[in-house]
Amino acid sequence: MARPLRGLLVIALEQAVAAPLCTARLADAGARVIKIERADGDFARAYDSVVDGESAYFVWLNRGKESICLDIKDKSDFELLRTMLEKADVFIQNLAPGAAARAGLGSKALRAQNEKLITLDISGYGESGPYRDMKAYDLLVQCESGLASITGSPAEPGRVGVSICDIACGLSAHAAVLEALIERGRTGTGKSLHVSLFDSLADWLTVPLMYQEHTGQAPRRIGIAHPSIAPYGVYATKDGEIVIAIQNNREWLRFCNSVLQKPELGEHESYANNESRCANRDAMNAEITAVFSASSTSEIRGRLLDAGIAFASLNDLRALSEHPQLRRFDVATPSGTARLVAPPAQEDGVSFSTGPVPSLDEHGAAIRAEFGAGD
């Protein structure tokens, strides 16, 4: 079955996580993605070697792409790249701000050459402003944006355990490219796009930012709990622990009646609505813990199921690896075969598959021949 982006050519002068995530999603949808690498390769190739000698990050983000090594400071390589861009639909790059333009690969110049081209520049803090030239890695942006200040335990801030700024940026970039492709289908012309790590993460921080600006107080760090919804967190049972989430007053009443078996708590003025439950969180948690700690995890799970209350296990990554709901697929790598997590979106009747992870410059000779290097 033909994939929706089949026939589109994407040129990616990319490295690390944000831009490769965007282009990986485009490749998953059938676009031809040619990855431009330096002689020593995308530095994400050397982040680790845990996948049979390959980098976990690189395997995840570069399946289904072609790799060619180019030196854009070399005249013949630069001309080859410009020839490729004359035929491209999308050009994505995450060099330092201004570097692409200085190299002759700025959006304005490229779109003068190919008006159908969609260009996307990915940066740390954007193309303008006082932080424009600041280096911006994921951890730095987690700290600079304030995310770390609301993450972790009450004792200290913490880093989100995945590269969330890069991921937010890559997904925002992917959506922007798809929107631009739809618009080009109507107008026949491309456009210039810019997405930054900081802007992407700031967008995700809208709710806690509004708390800060409208109440004068940011959400507190409270570990595995929710700062503005209660009860919403982990509770100990007689033989383990369980995570519960109450989203509205109807659920709270059912929880008190059927799970805690204390209907009087459901009508207590201290817990009458979510704001009051948050204000009296410690007393409420003591009531819940008293019941849960006297019962087994299986017993509490049964009550929660019967009452239709949301709950989960506090799993580790080993449990995720063995989770019955986890969808996987195989992808070929230069060193063997890797088992990856399947993309979230599913199509009825279609099993997801993708092309292999390329070795460095694996497609260089073929691409040079195709686009007329040396003509």
Residues classed as catalytic: 226
Q: How far is CA 330 from CA 60, 112, 194, 339, 350, in A?
A: 11, 41, 33, 5, 15
CB-CB contact of 51 with 334 (8 Å): no
Q: Give the β-pairing of 156-157 and 152-153.
A: antiparallel
345 three-state secondary structure:
coil
Q: How far is CA 192 from CA 6, 90, 91, 195, 302, in A?
A: 22, 10, 10, 10, 54
First to last CA, the chain: 36
Q: Is the dihedral of CA 128, 131, 135, 140 positive or negative?
A: negative
Distance CA 39, CA 29 (A): 28
Q: Return contacts of 314-317, CB within 8 angstroms, 24+ apart.
A: 314/224, 314/234, 314/241, 314/242, 314/243
Q: Is the dihedral of CA 78, 80, 86, 92 positive or negative?
A: negative
Q: Give the β-pairing of 232-236 and 241-245.
A: antiparallel
CB-CB contact of 45 with 65 (8 Å): no
Distance CA 124, CA 37 (A): 20
Q: How far is CA 210 from CA 151, 204, 268, in A?
A: 17, 12, 29
Distance CA 182, CA 164 (A): 27
Single-letter amino acid code for the residue at 106: G
SS3 content of the chain, % helix, strand, coil (to 5): 40, 15, 40
